[in-house]
Amino acid sequence: KAGVTQTPRYLIKTRGQQVTLSCSPISGHRSVSWYQQTPGQGLQFLFEYFSETQRNKGNFPGRFSGRQFSNSRSEMNVSTLELGDSALYLCASSYRTSGVNEQFFGPGTRLTVL
Amino acid sequence: GESVGLHLPTLSVQEGDNSIINCAYSNSASDYFIWYKQESGKGPQFIIDIRSNMDKRQGQRVTVLLNKTVKHLSLQIAATQPGDSAVYFCAEGVQGGKLIFGQGTELSVKP
């Protein structure tokens, strides 16, 4: 089975712009979660989608949003980029339908905001 | 944020020795725990997990121990190899499929 894929792998944007990141989960996985990783804050949960519905959300401002499509692929969007949004954005997929179990991570998208 | 990432603690071991990486978790209600390994430039890779109804679980060269009384988790790696060098994260599973990650420990294996 192919693993979780994320595109693009690297991205450079300037302040005020917006960005869309894409994630394709492992085949058969319907849950997709997004995390932000920075040296200062570590790995932080952004949100989780299941069957095209957001089921859980972390403590991030409304500039961070996401969606999931009927084929379980997911996108996250960050609007009005700030310098502090520079981070590695990780997507993880899981076969879970309820509760919690292992999440499999993609390689991440490295976003740099100038 | 809920995950605090300060200066990573570092564990340095000799090749062939056993490694023990420790982690404290915060939520008494957490019923699922997981260890990840992250190499430079890659996403976290699943190592082993354990549910709260267990105290110990073994995998290939790895063992996870869970002490719910003191909210402590540990990862033991037997016969550590240079390829084990990476940052190791513990995470606790809370409601809604959310994982809360620890700050990570950098493991350095000396040949």
- Which of B96, B97, B104 comes nearest A42 by C-beta? B104
- Which of A40, A56, A104 comes nearest B98 by C-beta? A56
For chain B, positions 4-63, list CB contacts with chain A under 8 A: 4-5, 31-32, 34, 36, 41-46, 49
* Distance, CA of B99 to CA of A16 (rounded, Å): 30
* Distance, CA of A69 to CA of A51 (rounded, Å): 8
Residue pair A31/A95 in contact by the 8 Å Cβ criterion: yes
pLDDT digits (tens, 9 = 90+) for B24-69: 998 888 889 999 999 998 999 999 999 999 999 999 999 999 999 9
Do the chains contact at A102 and B34, CB–CB below 8 Å? Answer: yes
Mean pLDDT of B78-83: 97
* Position B5 confidence tier, pLDDT thresholds 50, 70, 90: very low
Q: What is the pLDDT of residue A98?
A: 73
Chain A residues with CB-CB distance to B2 below 8 A: 44-45, 58-59
